[in-house]
Amino acid sequence: MTTTSAATNPAPHPAPVPPAPARQASQRVSQSVFDGSHLRVVLLVDVYDGAQQQFLEAYEQLCNQVASVPGHVSDQLCQSIENPSQWLITSEWESAPPFLTWVNSEEHVEMVKPLHNCVSDTRSLRFHVVRETGGPAATAEPGERRLQTSPRIGDGVIRHAITFTVRPGTEEKVAKILSDYASPEPHVDDQTRLLRTSLFMHGNRVVRAIEVRGDLLAALRHVARQPEVRAVEEAINPYLEQDRDLDDPESARVFFTRAALPAVHHVTAGESSADVVRHALYYPARENKGLRLAELLAQQDERAADDPTSPVLRSTIFQRDDIVMRLIDVRGGIAIDPDTVLGLTDPARSAELTGLLDGNAFTADPDALRDGSAPRLLDLARMDLVTDRRAPDA
């Protein structure tokens, strides 16, 4: 499906320009779920007063179901000694990918429904295990229990996205609504600030990516409360393929749970400048191949980050099920080096990567992928910019 709106179909792609100069060396920022180390998930839960027994019963049911999920190792339920309404659930997983596959699945959406009537608030935190003393580590065979080898260097920015589809034929109206709104106040609290919101469309699929410094959950709640944002959400409701009622907490919760598009990999390899432009690329995967496709892109981006001549200064990969999106900051124009811009830096792995793409989701002509043309693939994958807004001094 294609869009005919001027907002979603910018001017024709510019002609290739000379290669960008080599970037200045800088300390790399790299965050990833793909290092294979064990994962610890911490869920902080506030339970309604008097609903503790109901919560415990719902947890027991959920616990029995989770035990059979591939990659799950163990879990533990704890109740606060100071406030009986506060609970802590910790679970351990062989690595992050199987957990993300489960937590982003329809199966998980159905599993946690019994908790909604007894829980007032939750906060989920995910950690790779870096060091361990005693317990399973003491008895594990060499190589059996993998820990993160070294601390990663971050930049204090949390990246998150949501995605949803609108009814075919309404793309132009939706793009206009999404581009015409007042930006919300970026200041959330003393620790949290909304830095940037980038919104793209590919056919009837919408992706909104945000960057936050501080507490992501606090930022999301802050944005949802803004009248200008609520007005936009209400205005696009009639055009959504998945119905939702923002006045119904359960309906809104299910919609945004299904819409979540988590960041699974980010790498920053150079300093930004005036000629750096943000782009988004859409990589629809064949059934059950989304995670593998995202992993291959992550490997390619790590490889490109070591090349000082690469035009890609930043890359963030978002993945949920068979939806993969890559947000990139490119210096010198997107058509300079289509292979690198697409994340096809290793010929051997590039063949596997392109083989994981779902041609039917890209275009009405699935044979268009078979000629192996990077410029053609770049044209198919490129998302149309709707709006890209940065907070002052961000």
Give the Cα separation of 112 and 108 in Å (integer).
Answer: 6
- Entry pTM: 0.85
- Asked whether 281 and 265 are in contact (CB, 8 A), the reply is no
Highest mean pLDDT among 16-25, 337-346, 363-372: 337-346
Residue with tokens 């690198």: 340
Q: Do residues 2 and 169 make contact, with C-beta atoms less than 8 angstroms apart?
A: no
The pLDDT of residue 265: 95
- CA–CA distance, 217 with 233 (Å, rounded to integer): 18
Tokens representing residue 2 in the block:
């294609």
Using pLDDT thresholds of 50, 70 and 90, give the confidence band for residue 180. Answer: confident
CA dihedral 177, 282, 327, 225 (to 10 degrees): 30
Quick one: pLDDT band at residue 367, thresholds 50, 70, 90?
Answer: low
Q: What DSSP string runs through 203-246?
A: TTEEEEEEEEES-HHHHHHHHHH-HHHHHHHHHHGGGBSS---T
Domain residue ranges in the chain: 29-33+155-390, 39-129
pLDDT at 9: 41
Q: Which amino acid is it at 94?
A: E
C-alpha closest to that of 125 among 46, 30, 40, 62: 40
The topology under which CATH files domain 29-33+155-390 is Alpha-Beta Plaits (3.30.70)
Q: What is the pLDDT of residues 53-74, one digit of tens each?
A: 999 999 998 888 899 999 999 9
Tell me: the pLDDT tens digits for 7-48?
Answer: 334 444 444 444 544 444 446 788 899 988 999 999 999 999
Distance, CA of 7 to CA of 4 (rounded, Å): 9
Task: Kindly report, residue by residue over 211-255, the tens digit of the pLDDT.
Answer: 999 988 889 888 888 888 889 999 999 999 998 888 888 888 888
Whether 29-33+155-390 shares its CATH topology with 39-129 is answered yes
- Give the whole-number percent of the chain exceeding pLDDT 90: 49
How high is the pLDDT of residue 14? 47
Average pLDDT of every residue of the chain: 85
| Topology given in CATH for the domain delimited by 39-129 | Alpha-Beta Plaits (3.30.70)
For residue 369, name the pLDDT band (cuts at 50, 70, 90): low
- Among residues of the chain, what percentage have pLDDT more than 70? 87
Q: What is the average per-residue pLDDT within 330-348? A: 87
Tokens 């629809």 belong to residue: 284
